[in-house]
Amino acid sequence: MPSEGRSDSLEFFAGFIDDYFAESDEHLSSIRHALLDLDASLGQPDMASPAIEELFRSVHSLKGLSGMVELRPAEQLTHEMESYLRGLQQREVALTRSGIEALIDGINTFEQIIAARRAERPTPDITAPLARIAALVTAVRSERRDIEGAVVGTGPGSTPATADADFRGRTWKFTFEPSAALVARGVKVDTIRARLAQLGRILSVSPKITSGGGIAFEFLVATEADEEKLATFGEDGVTFEVLHPAVAADADAAREAHVASSEAHVTLLETASVAAPTHFVRVDLARLDELMRLVADLVVTRARLDDQLSRVERSLPATDARALQEHAATMDRHLRDLREGIMRVRLVRVGEIFRRMPFAVRDLARDTNKRVRVELRGEATEIDKFLVERMMDPILHLVRNAVSHGIESPEDRIAVGKPPDATILLKASTAGESVVLEVIDDGAGIDTGKVMERARAAGFPVPEGTVDAGTLLGLICAPGFSTRQETDRASGRGVGMAVVRKTVQELGGTLALESNPGRGTAFKMSLPLTLAITDALIATVDRDTFAIPQGSVREVIEIDPASIRRVENNELITHRGAALPLLRLGRLFGVTESSRPRLHAFVVGTGLAAVGIVVDRIVGQREIVVKTITDSLIKVDGVSGATELGNGRVVLILDAVALAASARVDGRRHGDAGGARAATA
């Protein structure tokens, strides 16, 4: 410990506290995971122990860490949680729903303490959560006394469940090996577990690695069922064998087997946690950003080199020129590999966001008397660390919105023939250069009539007749729009749909909506995998050059100016059998328009939200380095960033989605607001 100077120790402490935050985050992440497992295993005491072990270890570590940085409230809180978990671990007390909720409460408070410390705000009050957990601990103590008093001579390891005395069945070992074919038929570990639970008592479950490298689950089940009844399991990839036919020996052996298997489990985990640090390096995100910036500089230099090369090419002997071209191409490839390598380092699993969601909706579901199950899919999908941080609030908002607005009460659901438990599916997947995040609920869908009514009341321009999903999305995302009659908990954070859409767009992504009346709502967010470098189409209008990220362009078309029709204030062409409104980039940006025999357009958006953005010429497609525009003087609608193409000049990157949106506003309002702004440029 440095003790020479105050500044030294402060610096030392500052470095240490950053480590503390990082480590706390890691532990919190595994705690959330374990709490979910624990929640799922409620009512099946034997299933809970791995989760309890995991929780115990993480909470214990948090307590130690908090003590080291002298964050007393955090230490106190984790201390109480640890005591309760120890009680659970030693089976002195049974796991209850209120117990799980107290733990969740405790962890949420812990997070708030950390957040407060990070932001240098005063520590939140921990009295209530602390008391809640302390009450559980008191229960443990009294129960411990009861057991000690009543069962003299029996070790604490004996479970209270001794109703097995007159049990006449046998213990079986079932091995289930999941496969894609089985999953397709709906046969998963959970379904097998549920069926086995009906058959008898599940003594233990443990995952095993099969000789083929796959995963199998071993269930030890005490059941009175005979072999004939078990035969049906064979069809679902389950093999079984009897372990102990004798009853008396059975219970003990099963318990032993269980103890052995849970010990094995613990050893496995401990080995992993000991080995893990040697394989992982914790890196400050800023350092990766710096590397990414250097690569971006390289990409620009390479573009300049290419530029120069093509200029001198003709004056060089053919063999020299070819050799140079080859080297340039090789460098290009290496550069791409390098860039991808660095990008991969920045990727984290999307599960980091997803796993918070079930906790986020618990209170809200309870307060609104709804029954909600959150299902996670594609948790292992990797996404840029920066995106994870930025997407947390929007996803939280969508999930809470689904609970407060999308999902019906259990009674209403039963009335329309739906299961009383609603499902919110959080799904992540990759598609080409994008990550797709979806929030799908099986609720009532969006009430289009109500949205329109509300929009009219709020003075938004509302089209007559039926509206498509794009327009509907536009309305609910409009700043100041809300169908809420009163403020609810979900709106407490001040993140509305407008912010959801803005965040997605700022990250260069798109937001789409699908709503089926009576069947549910789905929000789909497509985000670019890479932020700093992207493929773009380069276009010119008069003497200006623009770049449009390729991900936002659906199609590139050529237009004969003679085919353009004027309808009121709009220009339209027929494209693929439908009318496609055109948006003249030159006019929008106040650039002199040239009359050309052929024009080109980018088609962005789909369905009724589709717009053709007209430019003079499309010069080509290339990799661009995206530089963000931060200064308010040049932050304008329709421009998402800047890049350079090798000559040092700034080329603006267009935000196609915002442009299309401004076109809609201009068209409907006959170009008052947007048009006036364009005219001043």
In the numeric block, the tokens 């689950």 are attached to 217
Interface with other proteins includes 135 (CB under 8 A)?
Answer: no
Is-contact 223 172, C-beta < 8 A? yes
Give the Cα separation of 461 and 484 in Å (integer). Answer: 19
Interface with other proteins includes 498 (CB under 8 A)?
Answer: no
Q: Which of 137, 205, 652, 656 binds other proteins (CB under 8 A)?
A: 652
| Nearest distance, CB of residue 662 and other proteins, angstroms | 10
Site for other proteins in 278-317 (CB under 8 A): 297
* DSSP alpha helix (H) spans, 170-317: 180-184, 189-199, 227-230, 247-279, 285-312
Interface with other proteins includes 644 (CB under 8 A)?
Answer: yes
Give the Cα separation of 53 and 273 in Å (integer). Answer: 13
In the complex with other proteins, the residue whose CB is nearer, 649 or 670, is 649
- Contact region with other proteins (CB under 8 A), list: 129-137, 435-443, 549-557, 625-633: 625-633
Kindly state the tokens that stand for 93.
């007390």
Q: Which of 350, 591, 611, 613 binds other proteins (CB under 8 A)?
A: 591
- Site size toward other proteins (CB under 8 A) is 31
Interface with other proteins includes 592 (CB under 8 A)?
Answer: no
Interface with other proteins includes 633 (CB under 8 A)?
Answer: yes
Give the Cα separation of 293 and 303 in Å (integer). Answer: 15
Interface with other proteins includes 72 (CB under 8 A)?
Answer: no
Interface with other proteins includes 627 (CB under 8 A)?
Answer: yes
Give the Cα separation of 86 and 99 in Å (integer). Answer: 13
Interface with other proteins includes 542 (CB under 8 A)?
Answer: no
Q: What are phi and psi of 103, to 5 degrees?
A: -65, -45
Q: Which of 305, 324, 462, 678 binds other proteins (CB under 8 A)?
A: 678
Neighbours of 627 (CB within 10 A): 15
- Spacing of C-alpha 203 from chain mean position: 34
Kindly state the tokens that stand for 313.
């090419």
| Nearest distance, CB of residue 641 and other proteins, angstroms | 8
Interface with other proteins includes 589 (CB under 8 A)?
Answer: yes
Which amino acid belongs to residue 14? A
In the complex with other proteins, the residue whose CB is nearer, 595 or 630, is 630
Q: Which of 253, 556, 639, 665 binds other proteins (CB under 8 A)?
A: 639
Kindly state the tokens that stand for 503.
């965040």
Taken in order 443, 444, 448, 449, is the CA torsion positive or negative? negative
| Nearest distance, CB of residue 328 and other proteins, angstroms | 23
In the complex with other proteins, the residue whose CB is nearer, 455 or 547, is 547
In the complex with other proteins, the residue whose CB is nearer, 225 or 291, is 291
Integer angstrom CA distances of residue 334 from 325, 346, 568 = 14, 19, 53
In the complex with other proteins, the residue whose CB is nearer, 597 or 648, is 648
Query: Closest Cα to residue 467, out of 448, 444, 445?
Result: 448
Interface with other proteins includes 494 (CB under 8 A)?
Answer: no
Q: Which of 500, 604, 651, 661 binds other proteins (CB under 8 A)?
A: 651
Q: Which of 97, 145, 287, 635 binds other proteins (CB under 8 A)?
A: 635
Q: Which of 15, 207, 590, 607 binds other proteins (CB under 8 A)?
A: 590
Taken in order 557, 559, 563, 564, is the CA torsion positive or negative? positive
Give the Cα separation of 588 and 615 in Å (integer). Answer: 11
Query: Closest Cα to residue 563, out of 537, 601, 591, 617?
Result: 601
In the complex with other proteins, the residue whose CB is nearer, 177 or 644, is 644
In the complex with other proteins, the residue whose CB is nearer, 189 or 639, is 639
Give the Cα separation of 186 and 145 in Å (integer). Answer: 46
Interface with other proteins includes 588 (CB under 8 A)?
Answer: yes
User: For the sheet containing 238-244, what is the strand order?
Assistant: 200-209, 215-223, 170-176, 238-244
| Nearest distance, CB of residue 489 and other proteins, angstroms | 28
Interface with other proteins includes 669 (CB under 8 A)?
Answer: no
- Contact region with other proteins (CB under 8 A), list: 70-78, 156-164, 396-404, 586-594: 586-594
Binding site for other proteins (CB under 8 A): 297, 544, 588-591, 627-639, 641-642, 644, 648-652, 677-678, 680-681
